[in-house]
């Protein structure tokens, strides 16, 4: 898990929602409306999950994990463990 400050998390949220908007999936460019949480509620980002396509997952203070589509995901940390260098390469892909 990559710990990130609120500004970085908001950048990732905004980038992901912009992609969803361009794909016709999101109806609003506002990441808070799309995801239902604020960047301040995020304690970390995951850029890999076992048996999943490349994406980003937001780990919230309340223990929930939300995927880039805004759907709940497994909260067990073992689903998101990967080599640090590979995770950082994926972070670059989402604009960090």
> What are 39-91's pLDDT values in tens digits?
999 999 998 898 888 899 999 999 999 999 999 999 998 888 765 556 666 67
Q: What is the mean pLDDT of residues 6-25?
A: 95
8 Å CB contact between 13 and 69: no
Residue 1 within a domain: no
Beta strand residue intervals within 10-90, DSSP E: 42-46, 57-60, 65-67, 72-73
| Angle, vertex CA 9, rays to CA 81 and CA 19, nearest 5 | 90
Residue 76 within a domain: yes
Q: What letter does residue 50 receive in the DSSP assignment?
A: T
Boundaries of domain holding 83: 6-93
Look at the chain and report how many structural domains it folds into: 1
Distance of CA 69 to the CA centre of its chain: 9
8 Å CB contact between 65 and 46: yes
């Amino acid at each position: 898990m990559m710990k990130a400050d609120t500004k970085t998390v908001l950048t990732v949220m905004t980038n992901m929602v912009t992609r969803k908007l361009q794909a016709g999936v999101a109806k609003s460019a506002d990441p808070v409306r799309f995801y239902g949480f604020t960047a301040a509620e995020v304690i970390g980002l995951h850029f890999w999950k076992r048996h999943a396509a490349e994406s980003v997952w937001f780990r919230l203070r309340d223990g929930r994990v939300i995927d880039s589509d805004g759907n709940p995901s497994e909260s067990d940390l073992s689903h998101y463990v990967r080599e640090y260098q590979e995770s950082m390469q994926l972070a670059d892909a989402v604009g960090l």
